[in-house]
Amino acid sequence: MTTLLKPSTFIPKGLQVQQVGTLTLFKFTDELGDRLQTLLDKKKANTLTPEEALELAAIGELDEIFSYINAVMAAKVHEHS
């Protein structure tokens, strides 16, 4: 039986905060970024296991969340400039 992975399980070791100019952005660590690329490559090759598909979905959701937060933060900085 496969269980759904919560995206939040990746936060403690998979995310970092990075200062880029005046922005503070959330980014994947190199390790999580590499894992995401590995899973994407396996998906493209149609060799993902069901567990890996769940992992890819969770990491993808986390990527969407942090991309949105980063975009909102960037827009707010540009509003005030």
pLDDT of residue 2: 58
Cα R_g (the chain), whole angstroms: 15
Domain ranges of the chain: 30-67
Task: Kindly give the confidence (pLDDT) of every residue in the chain, 81 residues in length, as a single tens digit, with 9 standing for 90 and above.
Answer: 556 788 889 988 999 999 988 889 999 999 999 999 999 999 999 999 999 999 999 999 999 999 999 999 999 887 776
> How far apart (Å, rounded) are the C-alpha atoms in residues 47 and 14?
24
Q: Find the length of the chain.
A: 81
> How far apart (Å, rounded) are the C-alpha atoms in residues 44 and 42?
5
